[in-house]
Structures are given as structure tokens and as C-alpha cells.
Amino acid sequence: MKNILDRNQNKANEVRNLLALKKVLMVNIISSPGAGKTTLLERTCEELGAKFRIGVIEGDITTDRDAQRLKKYNIPIVVINTEGGCHLDSNSISKVLDSFELDNLDVLFVENVGNLICPSQFDLGEAFKLAVVSTAEGDDKPGKYPMLFREAVAVLLNKIDLIPYTNFNFDSFSSDLKKINSQIPLFEVSCTRGDGLREWYDWISEKINISR
């Protein structure tokens, strides 16, 4: 495992250096399956597609269904099918970077394979990891999967529209999260209804602007 992670780290450093040179902000989006990563990307492309040059890497075990959902935004998208692998690694990212015109990109979103565990361990060479979690999964995820919430620089709590239909306890969620990462920004959103997304758009726009 140590050898695998060391090799991964070397490649991640190469990717990070290249993206810094090209001034492309790479964001590694991690969540369990169904938390709303693709929906967040759809909304973000709608809102910011005219302002920034967006590219997407879609990591999935199989199928290009998420890429198909993003096709209408006319952005460069590359699919990585891991064929059973539970996470992306820096080598797979490095291989597909050639498919993008990096000089013509401001931001490259990576939708990682839906999984709260393995993707947290692998540096892809991203600028930062974004954790997405949804209210329907329960309020205990930061407490049970602390590594992701330690590694991430921001958390997006999605599906707040569903809170009335669940036993999601926001105070419990937020207090567990703060114990792991006391200063981490938390966006409370509904990607389908639109609540709270303005704060996310402003925050990510600022990050992209800083890296340009």
C-alpha cells in the first residue's frame, strides 16, 4: 500500500506542477453515490459556463452516463472508466490531461468515483478536494468517514430540500464536522431547487480567479 501511495504521490506532484504552469484549477469532487456531484456540475456549468472555461473528468466504474448529462454545455469532457476500481488515481488523470487544451481551460472539475473512503486517500494533483454529502444519507457521515472531511477544503451539504422528510439533525452533523475540521466552509444547498448555490458560485469563482 505504501508503494502504491508513494507512486501515486509522485505522479500527483507532476500533475500539480503542470496544472500550476497552465493556470488550471483542478477540483476533486468526492461523495458517496447519489449525493449530487453531477447535479452540482450541471448547475455550475449553467451558471459559470459563460464566465469560465470549464473542463470535466468523469470518473466512473462503467458507463458514460454522467458525461452524457453534461454534453449539452459544450465543454470538454473525458470519461475514465475504472472497470471496478473504487477511486481515481493520479496516473489515470495524468494520462487524460493530453486530451484537454490546458491553455484554454480555467477550471477542471474531476467527478471521482462515488465512494467516501478510497478517493480521500489518493492525491490526484488537484488544487483541493471538495466533499459533497447529502441529507438523505444521514447526519453521521463526517463522524464515520473523517478522512474525507479532514482532507477537503470545503463541504457542500446537498438536498437540504429533503430535510423535512428525513431525521437529519443539522446540529449533530455540524458539530461532528467542526470536531474534524473546525474552520471548513460549509455550503448548505439544494442542487435541484437552487437554494444556497449563490454562495457556492461566488466561492468557487473566487478560487478560479485567484488561480488564473
CA 157 to chain CA centroid, nearest Å: 13
161 binds, among ligand GDP, Mg ion, none (CB under 5 to 8 A by kind): ligand GDP
- Which residue's CB is nearer to Mg ion, number 66 or number 123? 66
Binding mask 86-125 for ligand GDP (x = CB under 6 A): ----------------------------x-----------
Stretch that binds ligand GDP, among 2-10, 14-22, 157-165, 198-206 (CB under 6 A): 157-165
The answer to whether residue 192 forms part of the interface with ligand GDP (CB under 6 A) is yes
CA atoms within 13 A on the CB side of 126: 28
Judged by CB under 5 A, the chain residues 16 through 45 that form the site for Mg ion are: 37-38
Task: Give me the residue label for grid cell 502504491.
Answer: 4
- Compute the least distance from the CB of residue 7 to ligand GDP, in Å: 28
Distance CA 190, CA 180 (A): 24
- Which residue's CB is nearer to ligand GDP, number 35 or number 80? 35
**Total of residues contacting ligand GDP (CB under 6 A):** 16
CA-nearest of 153, 130, 144, 194 to 172 is 144
Binding mask 39-78 for ligand GDP (x = CB under 6 A): x---------------------------------------
- Compute the least distance from the CB of residue 40 to ligand GDP, in Å: 7
Name which position in 26, 27, 36, 89 contacts ligand GDP (CB under 6 A).
36
Q: Which residues bind ligand GDP (CB under 6 A)?
A: 31, 33-39, 114, 158-159, 161-162, 190-192
